[in-house]
Chains A and B, each alone.
Chain A
Amino acid sequence: MSVRIWDGPSATLDDPQPPRMTRRSFLRGTTAAAGGLAALVAALNPLREFTQQDEFTLDQFLQKHYKEMTPEDMEKALARIRAEVEKRYGVRPHLRDVKPRAGVEFVYALNLSRCIGCRKCVYACVAENNQSRSPQIQYIRVIEMPRGTLDTEKGNHHYTHPKVPDINHFYMPVQCHQCANPPCVKVCPVEATWQEPDGITVIDYDWCIGCRYCEAACPYWARRFNFAQPDLAGDAINPDMSYLSNRPRPKGVMEKCHFCLHRTREGRLPACLEACPTGARKFGNVLDPNSEVAQILKTKRVFVLKEEVGTLPRFFYYFDERYPNSLDPEAVKIGQAIGCFPGSPAPEALA
């Protein structure tokens, strides 16, 4: 006879009847149930720390998707966010929802001949956009590239020279490329991220479910996730905010560069551009033929990063003439030979 366990006898030898509720079995069942309940409650214990956080409000839970909000809904949402920001950071923000302008398509151009890798853009962006200081979130990565390649895999994100630029490298800042064919928008299951008419891909931080599929899809590593509650120093908060850009984000959602849309849609320039000490960064409306970016696209040799992935970035890189300068020992030698540098023999002497 085979061994039967689960279907084995469930009655004792003294009690050949099917199981009955005895006092002992009742006691046993009760202790088991009570123990189980206690363990369940204890397992849920960490949730008590939740009361300190006010990020789960009913208003936010019931809030509609950005595109479905009426002006009244938006006003309500903005009022809620203003109150939250004021409560948390003690700053009354100038928060609004800035809409795109008609006839404008934003494009960024970056002159790799001018960038010196000082990372001022990175920290200007952090300050402007209320990014989390801890854990650290930065939208811009400056990559130090060895000569002879444009493959970012050969670059270095963590250079710590006492002075930049280092003569053996050039510098390539990367941020969201605001692609015309954005893979991140394609993969989002809840349409929490989309492309606006002026070409900026935005995120509704109140709609994102935090699956990080867009982060996996982005070929430029431009998206960032709030792995913890962002920590902003209260006095460092930038009160100039808009709904789709730099208002403080909750934990568990994505964020990324939005071309400072709260500034640029009101005519101003992005913070990274204004902080750049070399004028390597150029921004404007590509539909205006006289804009700086249109001129660059027309007159310079521009390229985009990873063109082969077909994302059609609105972020262009270019090189232009660079005068040989005395920082470059090779250039000094050449310059001296042709008489371009002080202390070199006069051109007539060479001839």
Chain B
Amino acid sequence: MLDEPGGIPESPFQRGAAAAWLIGPAFLILAAWLMLGSQRGDLPLAPAVLVASDQITPGARRDPMGEPPSVMSGGFKHACNECHRVFDSPTAQHRPMVQHTHITLKHGMNDNCFNCHNRENREKLVLYTGDLISFDQVPRLCSQCHGTVYRDWQRGTHGKTMGSWDAASGLQIRLECNDCHDPHAPAYPPIAPLPAPQTLRMGLQFPYGAHEHEHHVPLQEGAGRNRKPAAHPEKHE
């Protein structure tokens, strides 16, 4: 290693020469390795999550009974009074339905058919005052009880608007009560959610809140100090 003149034959320079000889072949090996082993970097692309287009169709949530009202029976469309002119209806409030069995009445204390339907003319709805209105004037009927919601709906702060955000354009359609709510069971039934996000390299995610188990839950603390929150139904999925 020492550069003394006349020193040992294995001088730094000779080793330098040997090392220099190494450079070319080393680079060639690297080149060969890069050419052969040149795979694509790992791209953990998950398959696309696809959703059927009917799941996201814009529009009303349900098809309301139009004006004039009708029912399908035996593959034919019948007007209400075709039957109701013949058969009288009893006045009793809570009685099992013989016809229209698909209707479940879940409308809170509003559990009398003739609160809304007219007993004499089934093709009309009836107001509290006894005035008859047609089936396309549903908001008037609902507003009798749901005054605050009706007020909000008039302002546009409740309900759904389709078409344009600009009322002046004349293209604005404000959906009416029964475009979304079933008048016999106005609360929304729960529906299946669309798939959870599956973003790049997201890894395993827990289907429940990450910190939910450790935070303070006032609702449950009322029932017992330091009680653990009730186990979530989905926790062990």
Contacts and interface: CB of A to CB of B under 8 A. Distances in A.
Q: Do chains A and B touch in the complex (CB under 8 A)?
A: yes
B192 interface: yes
Interface in B177-211: 180, 186-188, 190-200, 205-211
A116 B191 contact: yes
A320 B158 contact: yes
A117 B35 contact: no
Contacts of B9: 13
Given A32-B27, A39-B31, A283-B165, A157 B205 contact: yes
Interface stretch (B83-91, B122-130, B131-139, B147-155): B147-155
B68 interface: no
B157 A116 contact: no
B35 A8 contact: no
B196 A32 contact: no
Given A136-B48, A299-B155, A300-B157, A35 B196 contact: no
A5 B194 contact: no
B232 interface: yes
Given A13-B11, A269-B164, A136 B198 contact: yes
Given A268-B164, A284-B165, A39 B34 contact: yes
Interface stretch (A58-66, A70-78, A199-207, A272-280): A272-280
B228 interface: no
A148 B49 contact: no
A228 B26 contact: no
B167 interface: yes
Interface string A116-142: 111110111011000001111110010
Interface in B155-178: 155-169, 171, 175
Given A228-B43, A295-B156, A136 B208 contact: no
B176 to A, nearest CB: 11
B108 A335 contact: yes
Contact of B157 (A3, A42, A162, A292): A292
A178 interface: no
Interface string B201-232: 00001111111100111110000000000001
A274 B58 contact: yes
Given A46-B38, A335-B108, A163 B191 contact: yes
A277 B205 contact: no
Contacts, number: 280
B3 interface: yes
Contact of A156 (B20, B105, B209): B209
A95 to B, nearest CB: 22
Contacts of A264: 165
Given A45-B38, A46-B38, A269-B165, A31 B24 contact: yes
Measured as residues with beta carbon below 8 angstroms from the partner, the interface class of chain A is 35 or more
A15 to B, nearest CB: 10
Nearest to B194: A119
Given A148-B217, A156-B207, A271-B58, A162 B192 contact: yes
Given A285-B166, A295-B156, A158 B188 contact: no
A36 B27 contact: yes
A9 B12 contact: yes
A275 B34 CA distance: 51
A39 B28 contact: yes
B107 to A, nearest CB: 9
Interface stretch (A184-192, A305-313, A339-347): A339-347
B109 interface: yes
Given A8-B13, A36-B27, A327-B187, A292 B155 contact: yes
Interface in A30-55: 30-36, 38-39, 41-43, 45-46
Contact of B31 (A35, A271, A282): A35
Given A3-B2, A133-B50, A231-B48, A269 B31 contact: no
Contacts of A92: none
A254 B237 CA distance: 35
A11 interface: yes
A147 B212 CA distance: 10
B82 interface: no
Contacts of A148: 216-219
Given A118-B192, A135-B46, A148-B219, 15 more contacts: A3-B2, A9-B3, A10-B16, A35-B26, A133-B48, A136-B200, A137-B199, A162-B192, A227-B200, A267-B169, A268-B164, A274-B58, A278-B160, A340-B108, A342-B105
Q: What are the 7 closest A-B residue pairs judged by CB atoms, nearest first?
A: A31-B24, A35-B27, A279-B160, A274-B58, A133-B48, A292-B156, A163-B190
7 contacts: A35-B23, A134-B48, A160-B196, A160-B234, A228-B43, A269-B162, A277-B191
Interface of B: 1-6, 9, 11-14, 16-17, 20-21, 23-28, 30-35, 38, 43, 45-51, 53, 55-59, 61, 94, 105-106, 108-109, 111, 148-149, 152, 155-169, 171, 175, 180, 186-188, 190-200, 205-212, 215-219, 232-234, 237
